[in-house]
């Protein structure tokens, strides 16, 4: 028997994955633009340069952990994808807000 409720939940979760990914890409574009401008103008401080390198392994580790938890909890592929993208989205959005303040 086809479970319509489960199908709708999966569709909504995939839509949320898509929206989260889009927000992450927009934020990442802004962060890249702002940091590149800081580099070009010689205004990128050492702390920002170190953070730029060190934040990526931390975000990917958290992403992997959350996806693994969702998978281990048998929540489905859509929930695992959403769990994986959220830590990266949160990091890029916080970076864009921080860099926007200058």
* Domain boundary assignment for the chain: 4-101
Q: Using CA atoms in the order 72, 90, 6, 80, what is the torsion angle rounded to 10 degrees?
A: -30
pLDDT tens over the chain, length 102 residues: 789 998 999 999 999 999 999 999 999 999 999 999 999 999 999 999 999 999 999 999 999 999 999 999 999 999 999 999 999 999 999 999 999 997
CA 46-58-91 angle, 5° bins: 80
């Amino acid at each position: 028997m086809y479970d319509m409720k489960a199908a709708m939940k999966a569709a909504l979760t995939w839509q949320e994955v898509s929206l989260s990914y889009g927000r992450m890409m927009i934020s990442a574009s802004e962060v890249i633009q702002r940091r590149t401008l800081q580099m070009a103008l010689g205004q990128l401080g050492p702390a920002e340069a170190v953070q730029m390198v060190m934040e990526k392994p931390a975000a990917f580790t958290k992403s992997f952990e959350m996806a693994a938890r969702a998978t281990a909890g048998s929540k489905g592929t859509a929930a695992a994808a959403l769990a994986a993208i959220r830590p990266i989205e949160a990091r890029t959005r916080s970076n864009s807000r921080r860099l926007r303040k200058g």
